[in-house]
Amino acid sequence: MNVVEAIRTRRSVGKVKQDPVPQESIEQILEAGTWAPNHKHTEPWRFFVMREGGRELLGNALADIAQSKAGEKTEEEVAAARESALSKAMRSPVVIGVAVVPSDDPKVIELEEYGAVFAAIQNMLLQAHALGLGAVWRTGDPCFHPLMNEAFGLREKDKMLGFIYLGFPDMDAKPGKRDDAASKTVWVNEPVERLNGSNQS
């Protein structure tokens, strides 16, 4: 699969089989992530591969976060919330947590570290697709909760930027649709001090 085909045909696959994913495939996906562009070569990504019982690490973190937000709920409601959170970690045979660990070098712009890890995640999704695997990148408030950092041994300034749920597809991917690039592009061919805000859509 060439790169243009991979980019255009990749889709989020939220339903996968529980069949094991070969170790070699997982390693190829991780290696793809490490080739993302990163300023000053800081390589700020960290990967956490969870399989089989290891997925309980994520499940327990999600459950703890859900319980911390339970408020005035009854014990039964809290237990149900924990059970629901635990089950989310079991939706695929492999879950890869991807975190940013920003450099402590004051010359490194922290936002650029985030950009590098987002690029790594895209590389990983494309590699998974090229291998015939289904993947979905799940994010949300629990990713950024202090209890998530605590569960994965991350520092306060680090962030879990999402979880890639990975497996063999168990659904047909829906056709994709995007606005064409022309509708999101401003061409600047002559000297100009600033752009008018009306050019931005």
- Residue ranges of the annotated binding site for FMN are 10-12, 39, 137-139
How many CB atoms within 10 Å of residue 184?
Answer: 10
Report the alpha-carbon distance of residue 8 to residue 184 in Å, rounded: 17
| 164: β partners | 96, 137
Could you write out the DSSP letters of every residue in the chain? Answer: --HHHHHHH--B---B--SPPPHHHHHHHHHHHHTS--GGG---EEEEEEEGGGGHHHHHHHHHHHHHT-TT--HHHHHHHHHHHHHHTTSSSEEEEEEE-----TTS-HHHHHHHHHHHHHHHHHHHHHTT-EEEEE--GGGGSHHHHHHTT--TT-EEEEEEEEESB-SPPPPP----GGGG-----S--S---GGG--
Point out the annotated binding site.
10-12, 39, 137-139
